[in-house]
Amino acid sequence: MASASEPRRSARRRLAAPAAAVDRLRPNIGRHALLLVLWLLGSLLLAFIVAPLLGLVSAQTAGNLARVAAMADVRDAIGLSLGCAVAAALLAGVFGTPLAYLLARSAFPGREIVAAIVDLPLAVPHTVAGIALLYVFGRRGFIGGPAERWFGLRFWGTVAGIVAAMLFVAAPYAVNAARLGFEAIDPRLERVARTLGAGPWRVMWRITLPLARRSIATGLTLTFARAISEFAAVAILAYYPMTAPVQIYEMFLRYGLGDAAAASVLLLAVSLGLFVLFRRLAVAGGGTAR
């Protein structure tokens, strides 16, 4: 009987082997199908972003770009935008990082309201933001007026006004990215450091900030990117001196699409290069506390 049943068992094993192989392949097939769908959907969004930029760049000639790049007004405007955006990002880091830590670690009354206020500039139309800033930092504003009378600091039509407008619209990125970084840190690490004799300031500088520095750097990068692109709030609070977006708008009104498009490509090229650099620095800045 045993010898008669052995061929049947062998046959069943031979038939089961392909079925087992198919079962092992099914998870891989499903994963590949999922990745394919994700890539297709993501590629549509990438195409939507890239297509207008490619259209803008492809319409330019090297000669036209060189001619516009030789314009002192264009170079000055791009340089002013870069400097003011860096200043706005640094201010957002100095004042936004402490606020982000409080939102991540402290349970205080009204925390949700504070978080909503931080996010509010993301929802406010930027023309409205510029008008609101005028009531604060303009000649008759409750900060701008006393600042000009007492300290000679004027925001309306100055670099200080440009930085203030950029900071208003871009600061939420710095605060929110840093808050997420602080929330991702296990509080037990800070408590262990305290039990080993480290004071709160030492824990902050040696444990908390190093662990959150990648998120902080990412937030500053996003703040810089958002600040350098701001037009409406800057134009209302400080039309002059002209930042790059304002200069491009002025060139469009005066000379038409050609020169404005060339200046736009120059700004995009500089911004893209710096954005990639800051992104790399943000990734390289990650690590563990020592």
Among 14-23, 122-131, 183-192, 249-258, which stretch is predicted with the lowest mean pLDDT?
14-23
Kindly report the three-state secondary structure assignment for every residue of 32-85. Answer: HHHHHHHHHHHHHHHHHHHHHHHHHHHCCCHHHHHHHHCCHHHHHHHHHHHHHH
Give how many domains the chain has, as a whole number: 2
Distance CA 288, CA 290 (A): 6
Are 115 and 259 contained in the same domain? yes
Are 85 and 271 within 8 A, CB to CB? no
Residue-wise pLDDT for 141-163, tens only, equals 888 889 888 988 889 889 999 99
For residue 46, tell me if it sits in a domain: yes
Contact (CB, 8 A) for 210 and 286: no
Q: Are residues 139 and 14 in the same domain?
A: no
Which residue, of 33, 58, 83, is where some domain finishes? Answer: 58
Both ends of the chain: CA-CA distance in Å?
72
Answer yes or no: are the C-beta atoms of 259 and 244 closer than 8 Å.
no
| 16 and 117 inside one domain | no
Tell me the pLDDT tens digit for each residue of 52-91: 888 888 888 888 899 999 999 999 999 999 999 999 999 9
**Residue at 208 is within a domain:** yes
Range of the domain at 9: 1-58
Asked if 159 contacts 262 with a C-beta cutoff of 8 angstroms, the reply is: no
Whole-model pTM: value is 0.81
Rounded to whole angstroms, how far apart are CA atoms 182 and 178? Answer: 6
